[in-house]
Chain A
């Protein structure tokens, strides 16, 4: 039975391919006399397995190129030659024999040799019951006598248990190379390879160091792929049941199965049957679930009395909150909703704010990240989200990756980029640092932080001068081209080089490559938006796509990758001060009317305050109460000291979270919400796909789903329209009030999510935006002339270095969740300052030495990491930890349009301690 189940595992992915291409390129062959159909270009092994004929194999893995090393899939062809079924392509009319004495001799030899060299402790092996060597041995009927006379030898390589999540036990390794090929072919990480020769051959890291000291990113893909017990999770227990849901760690929206035993989440695995992650996961998604059942979870409501938090019952807490809020006048209240919470949670917060509190002072953390995308793309294209889908990346002919570090921040999108390159795509990377994805790039442009407008305008001038523009597209689908073209004049190469620091030839090469390779897709994230000219950066990218006609077609577009799991959804749900759910503008009388009808109250129609404005107004005392759900601005926002001042100045602060964050510490009331694993709902990923989040376990402690808490406060305050029984009822209301979600309900997204706009039940959703017209007033894409403006704070004598910030692959935002996962802390436990050797030498500091980093706003003392990824004059820090918090340094100067702070550029000085 075990063997049979394992066969099926092998069959899975191939079956799908065969179903899709059933009628194309069909050929017929015979396997052991049995007539079978096969698809041209498939191998004998794939064909056999998909026809339910088992051929033993070890080094075969569906997603990888055939390798032919285990020699177990040997079959005899028409010429009587033994060939590997995994490598030999099917041919029409061929006769394949899979079983005879000669074949068995080779197969048994290989299997016996492997077993004679294998530590056979099956019952206590962590791979027991899921081991392909067991499967092969059982199929071939290997017995003790067969092994009797063979000399038995097992290598004495000791276990590498350095990684907090998995162990490498090379005593069990059969050298099938699946891990090496997974790491190289699929991930492009290349952390491991074959090393040494002969019997000493083993899988090794660079310099034969332990895995944790290699460039391994701990994604665990090799652990999943390993057919034997050589790569095994540290905690191998199997779940009693599994629940399919969505990973909570970034905007990619990977589908996962949470494994549950009792009321504990014990593991996670990728779901192979979806177009987003296809089974892949990163280290956080695979191993970062320990925060769910963490002992530090908030389990009871807390009220601060005499500066001390006291646990109280829910009723008391809710009454207290309702009582306090009922005294606050509308504009004196503001709410920050959570990009980590579900759409339903967010919807409840905006409804509460608008209906109960009578204000539009509601915003979410997109303000600090992609607000320039929302504003910028809306102006150019009429809609501010990813124009195309994640699954299209792999088919693009040219990828322009700018201001994003996909392998660290959105690892599964990083995989798709690597896949695209493997498929032959050209890759242009523009980033102030030599980030990991540069390894795969054809062209790398290291612009000085904050000079993107100049770089992009320079590229566009070359595209125009070289006549690489898509005239037809511009003529038919765009407007304002001539004004824009005029604005390109000042961006001659000399000027652009002087501003950006990028070599002229490279700019020309990149412009020509993007301009002449189609379809071309732009991928970007916060390196573009978190600037005082973030919206202008977005305009520049929009211009570039319009100029070359790379919009509204498959594998093209301008694609902002969203950083938080539901930041798209938080915006979609109207947790923005100027729009209702579904981006219906407050200034639109029809919209107001529609919502007043739906909510049965009179609504305030003046735009509310944006997040930084709320803090500003709070500081001068005009905001009295704030309701912060699942956010930690004290650590996440720039200029920490200023934020603390604002929050301290409030009369009443409610923080709703799953952990006692730095912000929660400042609250008057702390309400324990549920994590994603404890509630139903939906997340909307970067590509606008609304996906089901499912309750896997009962709420930890007395925590409650966030939407429920918000609704209960509303009800305590006497409001109507908050009597939802479950999350699906909320979604039904969303679909009613916001036409772009009109066709979405829980039934329809049970198997797979739907990409909005989805107008009605017949609508299958919209993978590609703007295919026919743009959503602007005129229906045309609007070119926007641009002028380069330098960043707000430039380096000078006193603060000579540019500090730019970003994420580590091991942590998520302010690490409230990932920080509760011990293994992730082991892999990356503090924010370092990365700098190049030259800068380090000029200050006289060594690797791992503590330094003082000083900006005009404050100072911190991180350790130095000397790295080749940083260029001279530019230092980099992550911002995950509150100890020595990076945002003490950063500048709160804002983009005038979107009010997004300039996290990516500030001037600092580094001093030796």
Chain B
């Protein structure tokens, strides 16, 4: 069967599925969905369908990105648009079978949005709801809409058309198209993809490798995982196209073992590709041979660094080495190697499917296309988003994120993971593109956006990221291993009231030395959280050091818990829940907290808040 026949067959199959008489129930079953209970929901649907003796197809799909609304279910019935439901419970599942599938009542009150040509009165179009509206979903176009374990679904969505197109061209022509698309590496540094490929091609060695870096390790980032779980073929197609363009013989996907579902989906997808001739010998009859191996990483953050990743594949301890030589000259087993991020690969298949012209429609002069982000922290709508490069931070936080939870105050957004920086409110108009973010002291990174409200202590935030980096340092070079430890120790002192005059200067000095002196990117960028927090929130440092005061009332050593006498009703709830018996008081009398015993675990405050709000944190000094 040639590709066009396969495409036709796939489209027919997919159309008959979603336009057929048998209803289809799509259950969002990526890791976010699963952890919210998607499997129970699937089971509930199946049980009720059987109970009621109704025919419907239940399919586990990926994530549409609205993680805060998982489990999400989509129901497609003949003659109706697809209807999305969020926060679905087993009870609701039962109800949906009975009310909608059997009785044609789409349960408007539970519905999130529709997708398709037709409308349902009272339900908005999914892409018109505020969280979706500013987004342009290109990379994530198939996520949540297709069965990730069915290659034909992907093909029906124009999948592998990009590869088919590429194989009709000469490798150099494919490279040219990628160059024209202006694609920059989505792993964080934003190096032009075509240029990296060109270096590789120029090295002209027979033995060479292409690696897809799926070692997503930033705290709060899950874009790659979600994409691999929801649409693995879009990444795999990109890998094969890239291999063809640069003449790579063998490919690896380096994916952390902590992503079991992504690995499972990848393995299945690769076996499907081999069956249909998208991988292996003579791909689609073009004479091009290429194979992909999966290498599971053990979860060391530093293995996202190219040379450490290579060492890890070679079976060595994941420790970076000095570049140059760059992997494009001397990489895996000492041979030329291109390493591209998951999203870069997905962008390649997108460009070859829809054309580079369509790709450059979005983005800025120097940062083309769209980019996915995981939006987390103190915003209302958390999840996986995709926006054109050049969108401002404000748009993302306020429009897509829906603003700060509990209508609180925005304080900062941490972007770019542990190597990135914290950006304050005054910089919220910063455009999200490679160069603007760098100007603001952060980096694009792989795309984690952590939003913080007024309850966040910025010294503590710096401490958090530095602790992460320190734990993940490979220990090889002195500035990173001991410099980050030194900075961490100083931050620990500051947050525990032991900060000394001159510590800020010492931190800056250490930061400069670590930046200049570290061997790899992990160490070189590790001071960024400190540098940006000192730059934008120096007052907080000063308060901690000079006044032994944490303005956000978060650093335990600098605060006490106390009862607000006039608000306390003597309900005894806190008295009974305190794990160390630090609260005294009797029924209907004002309680008090023994600060010598109190361990500041926050149990009492959590219980009381929303009821009497009678417990507060106060400055110790």
Contacts and interface: CB of A to CB of B under 8 A. Distances in A.
Interface of A: 67-71, 74, 82, 84, 87, 102, 105-106, 109-110, 113-114, 116-117, 149-151, 153, 174-175, 177, 193-194, 196-201
Contacts of A201: 473-475, 481
B181 to A, nearest CB: 30
A153 B485 contact: yes
Contact of B478 (A87, A110, A194): A110
Contact of A71 (B475, B490, B512, B519): B519
B486 interface: yes
Contact of B516 (A105, A174, A196): A105
B513 interface: yes
B510 interface: yes
Contacts of A113: 478-479, 482-483, 486
B6 interface: no
A114 B480 CA distance: 12
B140 interface: no
A139 B477 CA distance: 20
A197 B472 contact: yes
B272 interface: no
A105 B493 CA distance: 24
Nearest to A66: B322
A70 B478 contact: yes
Contacts of A84: 322
B317 A194 contact: yes
Nearest to A87: B322
Interface in B423-482: 470-479, 481-482
B317 A193 contact: yes
A198 B472 contact: yes
Contacts of A68: 321-322, 477, 519
A175 B518 CA distance: 15
A441 to B, nearest CB: 18
Nearest to A201: B475
A151 B485 CA distance: 9
20 contacts: A68-B321, A68-B519, A69-B476, A82-B517, A105-B516, A109-B483, A109-B517, A110-B478, A113-B478, A113-B482, A114-B478, A149-B500, A149-B503, A151-B486, A153-B489, A175-B478, A198-B473, A198-B484, A200-B475, A201-B474
B531 interface: no
B486 A177 contact: no
A197 B478 contact: no
Contacts of B516: 82, 102, 105-106
A224 to B, nearest CB: 23
Contacts of B478: 69-71, 110, 113-114, 174-175
A908 B509 CA distance: 72
B475 A109 contact: no
Nearest to A72: B478
A116 B518 CA distance: 18
A153 B470 CA distance: 15
A652 B442 CA distance: 92
Contacts of A109: 479, 483, 509-510, 513-514, 517
Contacts of B517: 71, 74, 82, 106, 109-110
A198 B487 CA distance: 13
Contact of B482 (A67, A117, A193, A196): A117
Interface string B187-207: 000000000000000000000
Interface in B505-553: 506, 509-510, 512-514, 516-519
Interface string B147-172: 00000000000000000000000000
Contacts of A150: 486, 506
Given A71-B517, A105-B513, A175-B475, A149 B506 contact: yes
B258 to A, nearest CB: 15
A199 B481 contact: yes
Contacts of B486: 113, 116, 150-151
Given A102-B516, A153-B485, 14 more contacts: A68-B519, A69-B478, A87-B322, A105-B512, A105-B516, A109-B483, A109-B510, A117-B482, A151-B489, A174-B478, A175-B476, A194-B474, A197-B473, A201-B474
Contacts of B473: 197-199, 201
A196 B490 CA distance: 23
Contacts of A151: 486, 489-490, 493
A71 B502 CA distance: 26
B519 A69 contact: yes
B319 interface: yes
A197 B477 contact: no
A106 B476 contact: no
Contacts of B485: 117, 153, 198-199
A835 to B, nearest CB: 30
B327 to A, nearest CB: 16
B583 interface: no
Interface in B268-301: 300
B489 A175 contact: no
Contacts of B502: 149
A596 B471 CA distance: 81
B482 A198 contact: no
Nearest to A193: B317
B470 A199 contact: yes
A818 to B, nearest CB: 36
A398 B535 CA distance: 62
B476 A177 contact: yes
Interface string B102-121: 00000000000000000000
Nearest to B493: A151
A106 B471 contact: no
Contacts of A200: 475
A197 B471 contact: yes
Contacts of A102: 516
Contact of B479 (A110, A117, A197, A199): A110
Contacts of A198: 470-473, 475, 481, 484-485
A194 B473 CA distance: 12
A421 to B, nearest CB: 16
A542 B110 CA distance: 88
A169 B542 CA distance: 40
A117 B518 CA distance: 18
B499 to A, nearest CB: 11
The 10 closest A-B pairs by CB, nearest first: A201-B475, A109-B513, A113-B482, A106-B517, A151-B489, A110-B478, A198-B471, A199-B485, A68-B322, A71-B517
